[in-house]
Chain A
Amino acid sequence: MPFGKLANLLSFLFLLMSFLLIVRNSLSGQVRMFAIQSGILAALAGVVALFGGRLELFGVAAVFAIIKVAVIPSVLNRTVAKIGMQRAVAPYLGTSSTLAVCAVLVIIAFTAMAPITGSDPLPTADGIPLAFAGVLIGLFTTVNRRRALTQILGFLMLENSIFMIALLATYGVPLIVEIGVFLDVLVAVLILEVFVYRIKQNFDSIDVKQLGVLRG
């Protein structure tokens, strides 16, 4: 039946965007991948609202789209523009190794989520391991990449994936919690933008390895 398949399709596209983000080297390209990923997630929320009969999810999808497809990418793009040119900083692992690790993470996600997928009666349940894989890949992005902005994008992908888990497993969490989470993420991104700019001013690069003074 089309609901389950459509949800699976969008979940896979979501995961694909995670892969594309983690291998791209240009900051504005990464922000664009994130915006597309959030758009796919908003579409998924709309699909769940339509087929699952939760009309308030339309509102949630709209707010999500506004915040994560319009506002946050524009904030990030402004930061990228303010930072200006930087030296290319290589991540800790190369592209092929990164992709290999991502493949392993996807397999781990499928094995870890097996109990939930097995017991969930909802037709969207198959996408939960993909969302969890998105969580793991977001974590990996934060660890693997050395530029502060990419770490922030990894964190944002993590939040996206968790929102997707909530969406697929239980058709979303209560509205007030949802709104609170969005507000928190928005404020966090704004604060992070200030910080990235200050880091650039103080250290003249956004390579996180510079932030290694405090040890022991």
Chain B
Amino acid sequence: MILVLLLFVPAVASALIARSRNSSRAALIHVWANIATLIAGLDVVQRVYVTKTEIAWNLLRADSLSAFMIAIITFISAITGIYAVGYVNTEFDSSQFRRARLFYALFQLFIFTMLLAVTTDNLGVMWVAIEGTTLATVFLVNLHDNHTGLEAAYKYLILSSVGIALAFMGTVFMYYAAVAQASEIGLSWTSLIAVANRLDPTIVRLAFVFILIGYGTKAGLAPMHTWLPDAHSEAPAPISALMSGVLLNVGLYALIRFKAVADISAGPAFASAWLMRFGLLSLGLSAAFLVSQRNYKRMLAYSSVEHTGIIALGLGFGGYWGTLGALLHMVNHALSKSMLFILSGSILLKYRTTEIRGVRGLLKTAPWTGRAFLCGIFALVGLPPFGAFISEFIIFRAGFAMHSTAYSVIGISLLVVVFAGMLASMNSMLYGSPAEPWDRSDPVRLPLAPVALNVVLLLALGLTLPDGVQEFLGGVLRIVGVSL
């Protein structure tokens, strides 16, 4: 039942917001919905941790992997949602109420589709939900309704839809392979895993390639990533935070589900090889574009492609440590990237430009924002004591252990390149003297506070790994078919 409640809250909130009359009521519903979703999400996680699975209806199901994703989604959306109130109040004045209302309503709808994607057992419904995330976010990308926003939103819609259609074709092929074994199997993932060892490997390989291309488009793997820099940089900051931090992870979640099936039926080497290739390509392409970026939001977007590549490399390296590192990195990236995009929203509100050149002396003009930005960038490029260092270390060490030395070496060198590029940009933004006249104030204060939680969690993940968390992750790994 709790699962139904989990999905019910954002859906109903979206409908209620769409009918609200003034901005403050919409914001209120929005914040309460986020908090309620967070509580429900944490409850699901706690239940799954204690028992092993939870089934609501025949379509909804939450195992450890789903609970893992639910935790990420609800937590990040709560933090982002609270910040969004501050952003909307500063960005839109009272005459643009309709835009604000559209923003909140689509925000809740977006969360609903993401939660649906990770709590369903039926692979077809998962597909419908992921396509739903695209449809829900398109108007959000184009919220400011200017030329560049229109271009970004159109490219996003067409590329995502075409990519996801290919993923559907892969799903159909997988279904075909399953039906050849047991005719009344439906598209349920659990039954697919159960018969996975009897599926025809050739067909499963064919299906997996399409699924990788399709859901990889959604996750931001190169070379299907071309929509990502445009869409994530044109969207308003809270939406970019959600899209980069959470939606890419939902795409990766779909890939993990199918990889579990492909590993059993076609052998782990096939899926791993493809994931490693795409992962390294994503790392390489993003590093190349990142170092010459002049727009800080695009820089962060390319960094998302880079980190998706790292996660794909981790999944490709495989084994216990590779997959564990990938899962940890999903969490770390979600925390750091969402925080950074939130802060970029504040920077945009203060400086009114997205050019790196146009931002100077951030530490002086907006001290809290600047300090958090510093922490965020450190976390993002993988410096200790933040969590990303640990997860990247685990991933690349797994690469060496699995004898994929070339991939690891090239990956690490690319990470160094990205490190240099991002730190250079960050330095030029944080230090120096700002243009006259300037005043010392953070544009968004109180709603920004929850970002501190992000920093704390990143530090915690970088310094320790509590037993409870490790046991939980062990449960997730068992679902995926990996064991120590």
| Interface residues in chain A, defined as those with a beta carbon under 8 Å from any beta carbon in chain B | 112, 115-116, 119-120, 135, 139, 142, 148, 151-152, 155, 158-159, 162, 165-166, 169-170, 173-174, 176-177, 180-181, 183-184, 187-188, 191-192, 195, 198-199, 202-203, 211-214, 216
The answer to whether B147 touches A202, judged by C-beta atoms less than 8 angstroms apart, is yes
Interface residues of B in 152-180 (CB under 8 A from A): 152-155, 157-158, 161-162, 165-166, 168-169, 172-173, 175-176, 179-180
Whether A173 contacts B125 by the Cβ 8 Å rule is no
* Interface-central residue, B151, B165, B172, by most chain A CB under 10 Å: B165
- Name the distance in Å between B227's Cβ and chain A's nearest Cβ: 10
Q: A142-B158, A155-B165, A180-B125 are in contact. List 10 more A-B contacts (CB 8 A).
A: A116-B206, A169-B173, A170-B172, A173-B175, A174-B187, A177-B124, A195-B153, A202-B147, A211-B155, A214-B234
Counting chain B CB atoms within 10 Å of each CB, the highest count among A119, A166, A199, A214 belongs to A214
Q: Is the CB of A211 within 8 A of B151?
A: yes
> With A and B bound together, what is the CA distance between A116 and B229 in angstroms?
37
Among A139, A155, A162: residue with most chain B CB under 10 A: A162
Q: Which residues of A contact B293 (CB under 8 A)?
A: 216
Q: Does B122 contact A (CB under 8 A)?
A: yes
Chain A residues near B59: list those with CB within 8 A: 176
Give the residues from 109 to 132 in chain B that come closer than 8 angstroms, CB to CB, to chain A.
122, 124-125, 127-128, 131-132
Q: Which residues of A have CB within 8 Å of B127?
A: 177, 180-181
Our pick among A158, A180, A195 for the contact of B128 (Cβ within 8 Å) is: A180
Closest 5 pairs (CB-CB, A-B):
A177-B124, A180-B128, A211-B151, A169-B176, A184-B131
* Of the residues A152, A187, A211, contact of B135 by C-beta under 8 Å: A187
15 example contacts (A-B, Cβ-Cβ < 8 A) are as follows: A115-B203, A135-B169, A170-B175, A173-B124, A174-B186, A177-B122, A177-B124, A187-B135, A188-B161, A202-B147, A211-B150, A211-B154, A213-B147, A213-B151, A214-B152
**How many residues of chain B are within 8 Å of chain A by beta carbon?**
50
Which residues does chain B contribute within 8 Å of A159, judged by CB atoms?
Answer: 165
Q: Of B139, B152, B169, which one neighbours A191 at CB under 8 angstroms?
A: B139
Residue of A188, A214, A216 touching B151 (CB-CB under 8 A):
A214
B162 A216 Cβ-Cβ under 8 A: no
Q: Does B96 reach chain A (CB closer than 8 Å)?
A: no
Residues in A with CB closer than 8 Å to B157 are 188, 191-192, 195
Our pick among B122, B145, B176, B292 for the contact of A116 (Cβ within 8 Å) is B176
Q: Which residues of B contact A188 (CB under 8 A)?
A: 131, 134-135, 157, 161
Q: How far is the CA of A58 from the CA of B139 in the complex (A)?
A: 35
Secondary structure type dominating chain B contacts: helix
Where the two chains meet, the residues of B that have a C-beta atom closer than 8 Å to any C-beta of A are 59, 122, 124-125, 127-128, 131-132, 134-135, 138-139, 142, 145, 147-148, 150-155, 157-158, 161-162, 165-166, 168-169, 172-173, 175-176, 179-180, 186-187, 200, 202-203, 206, 229-230, 233-234, 289, 292-293, 298
Contacting pair B124 A158 (CB below 8 A): no
Chain B residues in 8 Å Cβ range of A169: 172-173, 176
Find out whether the CB atom of B187 lies under 8 angstroms from the CB atom of A173: yes
Complex: how many Å from CA A135 to CA B162? 10
From B139, B154, B200, contact of A199 by CB (8 A): B154
Whole-angstrom distance from the CB of B16 to the nearest CB of chain A?
21
A135–B179 alpha-carbon span in the complex (Å): 22
Contact A119 B180 (CB under 8 A): yes
Contacts A177-B124, A195-B154 given; indicate if A184 touches B162 (C-beta within 8 A).
Answer: no
Beta-carbon contact of A155 and B176 below 8 Å: no
Could you tell me the distance between the alpha carbons of A199 and B155 in the complex, rounded to whole angstroms? Answer: 12
When the two chains form the complex, which single residue of B150, B158, B187 contacts A202, counting CB atoms closer than 8 Å?
Answer: B150
Contact B230 A177 (CB under 8 A): no
Residue from A119, A151, A152, A183 within 8 A of B200 (CB atoms): A119
Query: Shortest distance in angstroms between A198's beta carbon and chain B's nearest beta carbon?
Result: 6
Closest to A114 in B: B202
**In the assembly, what is the distance between CA of A199 and CA of B234, in Å?**
16
Return chain B residues, CB-CB under 8 Å to A203: 147
B122, B139, B165, B187: the one within 8 Å of A162 (CB): B165
Complex Cα spacing A159 to B158, Å: 12
Select from chain B the residue with minimum beta-carbon distance to A166. B172
Separation of A184 and B165 alpha carbons in the complex (Å): 11
| Chain A residues positioned under 8 Å from B151 (CB to CB) | 211-214
A176–B60 Cα distance when bound, in Å, is 14
Chain A residues, CB < 8 A from B147: 202-203, 213
**Residue ID in chain A nearest B169 by CB atoms:** A162
User: Is B176 touching A177 in the complex (CB atoms < 8 A)?
Assistant: no
Question: How many angstroms from the CA of A165 to the CA of B138 in the assembled complex?
Answer: 28
Contact yes or no, A170 B128, CB < 8 A = no
Which residues of the partner chain B approach A192 to less than 8 Å between Cβ atoms?
A: 157-158
CB-based contact B138/A162 at 8 Å: no
The residues of A that contact B289 with a CB separation of less than 8 Å are 216
How far does the alpha carbon of A170 sit from the alpha carbon of B176 in the complex, in Å? 6
Compute how far the CA of A115 lies from the CA of B200 in the bound complex, rounded to whole angstroms: 10
Known contacts being A162-B172, A169-B172, is A177 close to B135, with CB within 8 Å? no
Whole-angstrom distance between the alpha carbons of A151 and B158 in the complex?
A: 8
Interfacial chain B residues near A152, Cβ < 8 Å = 158
Contact in complex: A148, B154 (CB < 8 Å): yes
Bound complex: CA A212 to CA B151 (Å): 8
B205 to chain A, nearest CB (A): 9
Bound Cα distance A47, B150 (Å): 42
Question: Do A181 and B168 touch (CB < 8 A)?
Answer: yes
Nearest B residue to A132, CB-CB: B169
What is the minimal beta-carbon distance from B307 to any residue of chain A, in angstroms?
20
**A214 surroundings in chain B (CB, below 8 A):** 148, 151-152, 229-230, 233-234
CB-defined contacts of A166 to chain B, threshold 8 Å: 172, 175
Question: Closest CB of chain A to B478's CB: distance in Å?
Answer: 28
Q: How far is the CA of A187 from the CA of B148 in the complex (A)?
A: 23
